[in-house]
Each structure stands twice: as structure tokens, then as C-alpha cells.
Structure 1
Amino acid sequence: MIKTRPRPAVSGVASADRVLTVLTAFQVGDVSLGLVELAERTGLNKSTIMRLTVSLETFGLINRMADGRYQLASEVMRLNAVYQDALDLERHVMPVLQALTDETGETASLYVRHGAYRLCQYRVNSPHRLRLHLQPGDMRPMDNAAGAQALRTSIDKARTLTEPFYSSGVTDPHAAAMALPIFGAGDEMVGALMISGPASRLTEERAGILREAFCKAAADLARSLGCKVDFTWG
């Protein structure tokens, strides 16, 4: 008796791997691909590819043409636009962070809101050996730390600020930070610009000394991102 080979299960990690294998089979110069070409490039059988492309079509990543061939769809363009926007944001943010770290000697970061957390998106670490060991991608709670307060600030509230937010020992008993909200085009929240360091070094008094340079950096960044509000922060 000839045993029928079972079709690969389309679930969990294996399913994600197969879907991505089909999606990444498209190369520069491909207008469309047929089942035979997709099978050759992915090593998957045609029936599996047909089932996987249904999911890709549902999410707008692939279109099935009238002749049965497949081409990348509009969602790929949208994701590319998101990626390009992220690169553009990095181009604006990273020089500001580097300049802040050079001038203050402390770690400079840009945090964004991520659900119930704040996520470190960009960061330039302090040259000091004693510093906070966080990296881009690390998440912290939306507590009462300076960065979280900045991320909760509306643009109307930001207009009335006279000082950056400052906190010490909130998320970490040994850490202090100073932060301001950053808005971009359309006065939309971009994130929170922050400098942070050991509480023993970044005291409230020292934060006051760094205040002018920090506020200028925040205002310049917001302006470069298209914010129409001319913040002076007192």
C-alpha cells in the first residue's frame, strides 16, 4: 500500500516559517511568480504554497492574478513606507542623541509608547563606566519616571511646561532621568527625549545645570521633525 504523504500543518512557528519562505521568494526584478517558480525557490509543494498564499492574500501581501500567477501587493509597499519613515526618524534622532551624550556625559535616548510600556527606540550610551545598561528594544513600565511622564503629555500640556520632567529612583532606585515630549508633523507625539544616569551623578541640581542644553536639543529635534509649536520650556 502506498502511503499518502500528509500535508505540512499550517500552524505555529512552522506555518510562520513557510509563509515567510513564500513571501521572501520574490526577488528584485520579479513582476510575478507562478506556482512552479515558487515551488522551485521555496522547496515547498504546490498545494502547500496555494494554502499559504491564501493567508498572504488575506493580509494584502500578495495578489493572485487572473492567469494564476502571484505578485506582491500594496501591504508590502505600506510596510516599506513604515520602514523608510523609521530610517528617516533615525536620521533626525541619532545626531541629537550623540550630541547630548557628548555634551552631558550621560546616556541619551528616545522612548516611544508601546501599549502599557515605554520602549527604548534609540540610544547613545554614556562614556562613563558607571551607567545604566539598557539597549534599544528594552521596555520599561509606564510609571512615574520622567520618560513615562513625558510620553503621557499632550501637546496642549506641553505648551505649558516650564521645566523638563525629572525623576530619581522611580523605576530603578539607583537611576535618575530628565525627559521632554517630542512632537512632529501634525503635532503628533513622536516620543520622549531623555538623558539618564546614576542617581548619584544625575542629581536634580546637575539636571538644572544641563537644562538649557537639553531643552535646546529637544526644541531643535521637534522642529526638524516638522512640529509647528515653538517650545521654549520656560
Structure 2
Amino acid sequence: MTTQTRSNASLEGVASAGRALTLLSAFRRGDDAVTLAELTARTGLVKTTIMRLAISLEEHGYLTRIPDGSYRLGAELFRLGSVYQQSFRVESYVMPALERLVVATSESASFYVRSGEHRLCLYRVDSPHRLRLHVRQGDMLPMDNSAIAQVLRIFGAVPLPPEAATTAVPLYTGGERDPHVAGMATPVFGPGESFAGALCLTGPVTRLTRDAAGAAGPMLLQVAADLTRSLGGVLPTG
């Protein structure tokens, strides 16, 4: 085999791998099975190319073809996702983000996820002020009407409800759970557009006023966007 032939074969292999990854990336949050026609529309690849790639991907467990001719993601991707989750320390990305917020705002910063009808404080960095809300990592709080719970409820829904596209973030509430406490929150996303959790600032209502929240809002949004990118996520487009 000549050097030119080997080079051409290598380039073709790279192109084929790229097309295979394009095909896998065409699957979206909320998809069950996707038709060949829809995959063609999403990827720009011709049907014969998709069918050829699908055969190889099926053999390796990345795709499954169902009887009606449509496709769904295969179990091998779930296995790889589990390996990724086990090797990926979310804490190493979230904690620096929280510390950055506390330095910038002097209010307590936390990262919450939803657990059934409760919101769970996964990570937290306290305000340097002596007057602050005493919530600890691992605390479970109700899914009330606080800014944090609203973000978890709206952006954690699958599929995203229409109100997600019209909800201005960060959300701010004062005195919803405790008359002395105010909070503001915005969503953080993981791989693709998967919801990761709520990034928030909390403080006494006498200090974290609506005006103070307005001043801190751009910083909270910037840190949330940076954290989303660090987690391999993208902000929803619709």
C-alpha cells in the first residue's frame, strides 16, 4: 500500500468516525425512537449513509434498530455514561464555583438538586457574615415556592415545560420558607441540555434585598454559565 493510499484510508476513517458521532449526537433529550427520516433531517446525512453507519453502531451496542425501522440509543452508551459519572467528580467543579460566588457577593452559595418532593443541598459554601442561613450539605428542604424550588421544578422537568423558555433567571424570592431569608437561583446544565441542578445565593432579607439581588444577578448567571460548560453542558436553546 502506498503512502498516499494509507493517507486516504486514514482520512476516510476519520470522516467515517465523525459521521458516526454526528449520528449519535442527533439523539435529543426526550427521544424514544427516532425515524430514519428524522435522523436524515437532523444530521444532513443521506439515508444510505445512516443505514451503513447504524449497522456498525448496532454491532457495538451503540444503537438499537426496532421493528418499525426507527432507532434508539443502545445499552453501551448507558454503560459508558455510568463509567463517566463514576470517574467525574462534580464536586471538583461545583465547589470552586460556589467559592467564587461567595468571594464576589459575600452571601452563602449552594448547589441543589431535586429528590422527590424535597430539594437536597449537595454543596455549600457559607457567607463570611455572622448573620447567615444555617443550612448544611445533605440537608433536605421542602419543594416550596422558593426561588431554588422553582428552578428545580421548572428546569428539572422532562421535557422542559413552555414556561422554561419564558422564565427570567435568576429567580428571586424573599420570605417564602422563612420570613427572614431571601434567595436567588438559576439553573445549571450537564451534558447536552440535561439539567444538573440549581445554583443559588441565600442571605437575610435585610441584606439580600431585591436591589442587592439585581446587582448580584449577572455574577450568578456568569458563574452558572461557566459551570455548565465545565460540566460538559450547553444552555437550552428553546
- State the TM-score, normalizing by the size of structure 1: 0.60
Deviates more, 1:146-155 or 1:123-132: 146-155
Partner of 2:96: 95
- The alignment status of 1:214 with 2:215, answered yes or no, reads no
Cα contact 1:118–1:142 (8 A) shared by 2:
yes
Q: Identity over the aligned pairs, expressed in percent? A: 48
Cα contact 1:219–1:230 (8 A) shared by 2:
no
Cα contact 1:158–1:181 (8 A) shared by 2:
no
Give 1:95 deviation, angstroms: 0.4
Partner of 1:145: 146
Find 1:192's aligned residue among 190, 195, 198. Answer: 198
Identify if the C-alpha distance between structure 1 residues 161 and 206 changes in structure 2 by more than 3 Å, giving closer, same or farther: same
Give 1:123 deviation, angstroms: 0.2
Matching residue's letter, 2:205: A
The DSSP-based 3-state class of the residue aligned with 1:148 is helix
Aligned equivalents of 1:134, 1:209: Cα separation in 2:
24
Identify if the C-alpha distance between structure 1 residues 128 and 196 changes in structure 2 by more than 3 Å, giving closer, same or farther: same
Cα contact 2:169–2:185 (8 A) shared by 1:
no
Partner of 1:223: 229
Instruction: Compute the RMSD of aligned alpha carbons.
Output: 2.2
Matching residue's letter, 1:108: A
Partner of 2:64: none
1:15-54 deviation per Cα after TM superposition (whole angstroms, max 9, x unaligned): xxxxxxxxxxxxxxxxxxxxxxxxxxxxxxxxxxxxxxxx
Cα contact 1:113–1:191 (8 A) shared by 2:
yes
Give 1:230 deviation, angstroms: 6.7
Aligned equivalents of 2:134, 2:196: Cα separation in 1:
24
Aligned equivalents of 2:130, 2:200: Cα separation in 1:
19
Give 1:157 deviation, angstroms: 4.5
After the TM superposition, which residues 76-87 of structure 1 pair with which residues of structure 2 at under 5 Å, given as runs? 83-85=86-88
Partner of 2:170: 164
The DSSP-based 3-state class of the residue aligned with 2:90 is helix
Higher Cα Rg: structure 1 or 2? 1
Matching residue's letter, 1:110: F
Aligned equivalents of 2:192, 2:97: Cα separation in 1:
21
Matching residue's letter, 1:171: R
Point out where structure 1 has 5 or more consecutive residues left out of the alignment. 1-77
Find 2:188's aligned residue among 163, 182, 185. Answer: 182
1:100-125 deviation per Cα after TM superposition (whole angstroms, max 9, x unaligned): 00100000000010111000000000
Deviates more, 1:119-128 or 1:222-231: 222-231
1:65-106 deviation per Cα after TM superposition (whole angstroms, max 9, x unaligned): xxxxxxxxxxxxx98865544xx1101101000000010000
Aligned equivalents of 1:217, 1:147: Cα separation in 2:
16
Partner of 1:132: 133
Give 1:153 deviation, angstroms: 1.9
Matching residue's letter, 2:228: A
Aligned equivalents of 2:221, 2:163: Cα separation in 1:
16
After the TM superposition, which residues 41-56 of structure 1 pair with which residues of structure 2 at under 5 Å, given as runs? none
